[in-house]
Amino acid sequence: MIPVKGYAAQSPETDLAPWDFQRREVGPHDVQFDILYCGVCHSDLHQIKNDWFPGIFPMVPGHEIVGKVKKVGDHVKGFKVGDLAATGCLVDSCRECENCKKGLEQYCLVGNVQTYNSLGKDGKPTYGGYSNTIVVHEDFVLHISDKLSLPAVAPLLCAGITTYSPLRHWKVGKGHKLAVLGLGGLGHMGVKFGVAFGAEVTVLSSSPSKQADAKKLGAHKFVAMSDPEQVKGVKGYFDFILDTVSAPHDMGLYLSLLKTDGIHICVGVPAEPISVPSFGILGGRKSVAGSGIGGLPETQEMLDYCAANNIVSDIELIDIKDIQKSYERMLKGDVRYRFVIDMATL
């Protein structure tokens, strides 16, 4: 077994603290890479707090992982020692079901294995990227470009693919009016991709102080949701709303901002189920849809697209000792726009 240093929550009530654990030896198809940076996703906090379902503890969060290959198994063809490597939210799936065969491992019909807070095929808990090294089957390891800033690439592995995938699926682009609801980790990537794909992008935010940043990120418009006059100006205006909000919010209000046949795409996952008023969707034949992360081929496509178009995340690099403070700021919507842990501080 490989000894690993990490940071774990021992229970939903305790702060994260140093914790030593072990990973499996490198198998014939495995890649071991040393973790240099790991992004901090709001899903980490939801899962530590048991917001969605009872978690597996101790929990080592982190699914925006980038680093350098340390060792490869005998049968590994795609990676060699010293290469850059990355892993997102998934580390395994059945590979045989209809969805896996289409490269939609995130929707594996048998059930995929998530990078942490999940049970591997060996029945043992998985541990994530708030740690110094990881062992992953090569099929779930991604290639990243050495031309981009490495810490700023880390958030692409979740915030990036989670926004790229629905925008591609619904072919959002030229001629579309896209609203990005919530300017945090996911939201700011949604803005960058929406702009890159040619849509007119508006940020809908509960934080008026983010207006200047929204513009810098490329957004064409900004609506402070606390100002009724600004909200009135975008009634029936959008083709798509990309909803990244992590807390309960008024779906009726947002549905009223869609055009006829508009689509409200949920990627945020509040702890409570969302409540959709029937009149909000039947008047104007509107849809409420959802999208979960992305499969391996599309995640690689997104990483290559980012390398070709010089797209990375806007980050605040943090010491792992400051993780609790960062969670507190994230809960207040005070993140510009993704915290990334410098693993050298572990």
Cα-based distances in Å from 232 to 77, 229, 235: 56, 5, 5
* CB closer to ligand NAP, 132 vs 211: 211
Beta-carbon-side half-sphere exposure of residue 126 (alpha carbons within 13 Å): 24
Q: Judged by CB under 6 A, which stretch of 26-34, 96-104, 180-188, 280-288 contacts ligand NAP?
A: 180-188
> Which is it for the CA torsion 49, 54, 57, 59, positive or negative?
negative
In degrees, to the nearest 5, what angle opens at C-alpha 39 toward C-alphas 26 and 188? Answer: 140
Query: ∠ CA(117), CA(68), CA(339), 5° rounding?
Result: 55
Site string for ligand NAP, 105-144 (x = CB under 6 A): ----------------------------------------
CB 184 within 8 A of CB 174: no
Candidate residues 2, 56, 97, 276; the one interacting with Zn ion per rule CB under 5 A: 97
- In the sheet that holds 238-243, the strands lie side by side as 221-224, 200-205, 177-181, 238-243, 258-266, 287-290
CB of 78 to ligand NAP, least distance (A): 25
Rounded Cα–Cα distance for residues 45 and 326 (Å): 10
Binding mask 284-313 for Zn ion (x = CB under 5 A): ------------------------------
- Regarding 46 and contact with ligand NAP (CB under 6 A), the answer is yes
In angstroms, rounded to a whole number, what is the distance separating the alpha carbons of residues 234 and 277? 19
| Binding status of residue 268 toward ligand NAP by CB under 6 A | yes
d(CA 316, CA 309): 22
Which of Zn ion, ligand NAP, none sits in contact with 268, Cβ below 5 to 8 A by type? Answer: ligand NAP
The interface mask with ligand NAP, positions 183-212, x = CB under 6 A, is: xxxxx-----------------xxx--x--
# of chain residues touching ligand NAP (CB under 6 A): 31
Q: Where do contacts with ligand NAP occur on this chain (CB under 6 A)?
A: 41-43, 46, 158-159, 162, 182-187, 205-207, 210, 244-247, 249, 267-269, 291-293, 330, 333, 335
Q: Where do contacts with Zn ion occur on this chain (CB under 5 A)?
A: 41, 43, 93-94, 97, 100, 108, 110, 158
